[in-house]
Amino acid sequence: MASAKEHLLVGLIAGAAAEVFRSLALREPLSWSDVFWCGVGGVVGGLGPDVLEPATNPNHRNVAHSLVAGGVVTSAWRPLNDASTAPSWARAFGRGVVVGYISHLALDFTTPDGLPLLGR
């Protein structure tokens, strides 16, 4: 099982890298501010499932650690981002939260217990 430190670090790297790749894919100029905020969002998302369901025992994974939760978080972000008049940094932060959340689930998926579909 990944530690909080590992979830934090992977969330940070995943968030920042996702913003760099997004910028390249869309052929937009890279905004270092957006990379920073996406990395910060990655930390928040990377720690999120364990904040919602603390790792007090090996069977702590429930709804927040489920494949369905990952799908909901990912699906909910797109319409909010597309319709948002929020500043660029706030949208980057939100993208980071999604990427960080998914990175947390990906790390936990690799453990023997895996992830529940909906919860235990």
For residue 41, being part of any structural domain is answered with yes
For residue 118, being part of any structural domain is answered with no
For residue 35, being part of any structural domain is answered with yes
> CB-side exposure of 99: number of CA atoms within 13 Å?
28
For residue 120, being part of any structural domain is answered with no
For residue 117, being part of any structural domain is answered with no
Q: Give the distance between the most distant pair of CA atoms in the chain.
A: 45
Rounded to 5°, angle at Cα 79 from 27 and 105: 85
pLDDT at 29: 96
User: Does residue 11 surpass a pLDDT of 80?
Assistant: yes
Report residue 84's pLDDT band, with 50, 70 and 90 as the boundaries: confident
Average pLDDT over residues 52-75: 86
For residue 55, being part of any structural domain is answered with yes
How many structural domains are present in the chain?
A: 1
Report residue 38's pLDDT band, with 50, 70 and 90 as the boundaries: very high
Residue found under tokens 């869309």: 26
Kindly state the percentage of the chain with pLDDT values over 70: 98
Q: First-to-last CA distance in the chain?
A: 18
Residue found under tokens 């910028």: 23
pLDDT at 95: 93
